[in-house]
Amino acid sequence: VLPMCLSSHNTLVIKFFFLSAFFPLKLETQATGENLEFRLISSPRLSNLPGWSLKDGSAFLDKELKECSGHVFVDSVPEFCLPETELIDLSTVDVILISNYHCMMALPYITEHTGFTGTVYATEPTVQIGRLLMEELVNFIERVPKAQSASLWKNKDIQRLLPSPLKDAVEVSTWRRCYTMQEVNSALSKIQLVGYSQKIELFGAVQVTPLSSGYALGSSNWIIQSHYEKVSYVSGSSLLTTHPQPPERTLLPKVDLLILTLLTSTPYDNPIKCVSSFASTFLALTVRNGGNVLVPCYPSGVIYDLLECLYQYIDSAGLSNIPFYFISPVANSSLEFSQIFAEWLCHNKQTKVYLPEPPFPHAELIQTNKLKHYPSLHGDFSSDFRQPCVVFTGHPSLRFGDVVHFMELWGKSSLNTVIFTEPDFSYLEALAPYQPLAMKCIYCPIDTRLNFIQVSKLLKEVQPLHVVCPEQYTQPPPAQSHRMDLMIDCQPPAMSYRRAEVLALPFKRRYEKIEIMPELADALVPMEIKPGISLATVSAVLHTKDNKHVLQPPPRPAQPSGGKKRKRASEDIPDCKVLKPLLSGSIPVEQFVQTLEKHGFSDIKVEDTAKGHIVLLQEAETLIQIEEDSTHIICDNDEMLRVRLRDLVLKFLQKF
């Protein structure tokens, strides 16, 4: 097993035997925040930002780089950092397993441009909501009027001279522009839908099974197992029940290898507290003072919980006259889709569907006209727009999408508030290009993924032989280096990986399962050699097809056929007229050398190797390799000699 890390923490290739499984694929939007976008309807401020020049005064970069409140930004069409695709030949990858809809954003890059021809597995909600996320992204990017990507700054010699974080950005030369909707559709058509706890046979050798991970609609952990080995991939799991089905834990124990990734990105915040204070305090306060609230968010996921929370607090928080707007090209679809995945929801929500009522209360918010959704700012929204209000819109990086407009519109007034709930982006970096801001900013990340306390409980429960995780989880966060509780602590220590690293694991396949046909099993005569252990010799034909091994009865001696062809029988069992004897036993090297000498060989040298011995017959330029499970006679031209040596070897072995 050879995991390879293809990005800083979300993409992993595992070569499991000859089979490669591939866990994608969180698209790293440039989370470092260098990418600024200027599509602002009336924004003389941003387009008038000064260009930035190198210290030596050369100003050739000032078209690409802009300066704002002491930070330097790239002015370009947004680009995306992909998983590593150079390290392996993706055409040798057999399957891609998707953990949740956030982890499939890079899929079109892989399926459309790399020679990958395998199968992608994902659950139905993952695919449907993943499609919505991609559709929104494509739509946002298409609306960016910049035709040009900035490229001068990517020159290695220039990047070196730039201030942080630009100079630390990784693999800038491989950053790519967004895919098209056509590529998205083509990529999604290659996905095979699977259900929780469905056992999927891969080439007869391995079985993979998605299990509910509790993090998002349709999110899964994966079990990959053969008859004797079991690996589990735990990615983006949650123990807090919000709307998705709670995690399935019964199949996790007894694993040889546990791969643990996408833990919470906010280990010191309590997501439950954040959800409840979201509506009751932050939002209510702003609205009471006549201000507007902006919630940058993805079009699916946490927003359902936030809307539910608002629904509960409408009266107590004095929100009954405040309109909620949800603006996204996929707002309508997302709200509709959320109501039809009853089987993937938590128990409470399922029970509602049985009544039958919509599982999420946003159906009622829409019906009573409290929540309105629009594909974009243009059209109906501009005539309906009333302030003060609450707006949910994307993109949470604040680099593109309708959120940019609202930041511009409301940023200047201290009455307004922006509330960051998506944990993927640093809110300080997200806000940097908008500085100076009068608007209040509240950071209230709702990240329900596993924290370190939960991880250590999980590890105690599961007791995996080995743990593999991204490097960052094996040490405390850089800002809190004394917090030894904010890292994975287990025995043996977790093995860590980094982007573009190949990890060899102490994990070896030793056994293969073979089925014995009943008639053959019937004929066995076991002898007890020790109490409780019986042995029997088996003479059979090993039939291997699709990685399934079956022992079949050996062919009977050829019958004198009376002209009738018994085609069927000979098809099933391959012809092999002479059965070679079966050998067993080991070769004691000293005695073997003595025997060789007795038979006239001289100049014999014995070398010890890691696995056994090599007997060198220097004169004859011949090697005999004796290992635990094999003996090779390497002798180039002299067949007579080889046969003589073989017969000597055979003397030491028992025959059946």
C-alpha separations of 413 from 46, 343, 439 in Å: 17, 45, 5
Are residues 300 and 101 in contact, defined by beta-carbon separation less than 8 angstroms? Answer: yes
Indicate the residue among 520 and 624 with the shorter CB distance to another protein: 520
- List the one residue from 332, 387, 413, 472 that touches another protein (CB under 8 A): 332
Indicate the residue among 271 and 329 with the shorter CB distance to another protein: 329
Binding mask 507-546 for another protein (x = CB under 8 A): --------x-xx----------------------------
**Residue 624, phi then psi, degrees to nearest 5:** -125, 115
- List the one residue from 280, 312, 350, 595 that touches another protein (CB under 8 A): 350
254 contributes a contact to another protein by CB under 8 A = no
336 contributes a contact to another protein by CB under 8 A = yes
Instruction: Measure CA 231 to chain center.
Output: 14
497 contributes a contact to another protein by CB under 8 A = no
Indicate the residue among 342 and 415 with the shorter CB distance to another protein: 342
Indicate the residue among 337 and 601 with the shorter CB distance to another protein: 337
Distance CA 428, CA 45 (A): 20
Structural tokens at position 304:
């359902």
- List the one residue from 199, 273, 457, 611 that touches another protein (CB under 8 A): 199
What is the distance between the terminal CA atoms of the chain, rounded to a whole angstrom? 36
Indicate the residue among 156 and 347 with the shorter CB distance to another protein: 347
Distance CA 128, CA 349 (A): 19
Minimum Å gap between C-beta 297 and another protein is 20
Indicate the residue among 65 and 194 with the shorter CB distance to another protein: 194
194 contributes a contact to another protein by CB under 8 A = yes
Residues 209-248 that bind another protein (CB under 8 A): 209
Span interacting with another protein, options 191-199, 319-327, 380-388, 610-618, rule CB under 8 A: 191-199
C-alpha separations of 367 from 304, 358, 364, 373 in Å: 16, 12, 5, 12
Of 252, 276, 600, residue with least CA distance to 450: 252
356 contributes a contact to another protein by CB under 8 A = yes
339 contributes a contact to another protein by CB under 8 A = yes
CB atoms within 10 A of CB 426: 16
Partnered with residue 28 across adjacent β-strands are: 81
Span interacting with another protein, options 57-65, 188-196, 442-450, 534-542, rule CB under 8 A: 188-196
304 contributes a contact to another protein by CB under 8 A = no
Indicate the residue among 228 and 656 with the shorter CB distance to another protein: 228
Distance CA 559, CA 441 (A): 89
Indicate the residue among 349 and 613 with the shorter CB distance to another protein: 349
Indicate the residue among 300 and 397 with the shorter CB distance to another protein: 300
- List the one residue from 271, 291, 358, 394 that touches another protein (CB under 8 A): 358
The tally of CA atoms less than 13 A away on the side-chain side of residue 80 is 22
342 contributes a contact to another protein by CB under 8 A = yes
3-state secondary structure of 208: strand
Minimum Å gap between C-beta 194 and another protein is 7
38 contributes a contact to another protein by CB under 8 A = no
- List the one residue from 62, 124, 256, 269 that touches another protein (CB under 8 A): 124
Q: Which residues contact 533 (CB under 8 A, 6 or more apart)?
A: none
Contacts from 52-61 at CB under 8 Å and sequence distance 24+? Answer: 54/158, 54/161, 55/161, 60/152, 61/152, 61/153, 61/158
249 contributes a contact to another protein by CB under 8 A = no
CA dihedral (483, 488, 489, 493) positive or negative: negative
Minimum Å gap between C-beta 88 and another protein is 30
Structural tokens at position 617:
């017959």
3-state secondary structure of 15: strand
Indicate the residue among 45 and 199 with the shorter CB distance to another protein: 199
Which residues are at the interface with another protein (CB under 8 A)? 124, 194-199, 209, 332-333, 336-337, 339-343, 350, 353-354, 356-359, 515, 517-518
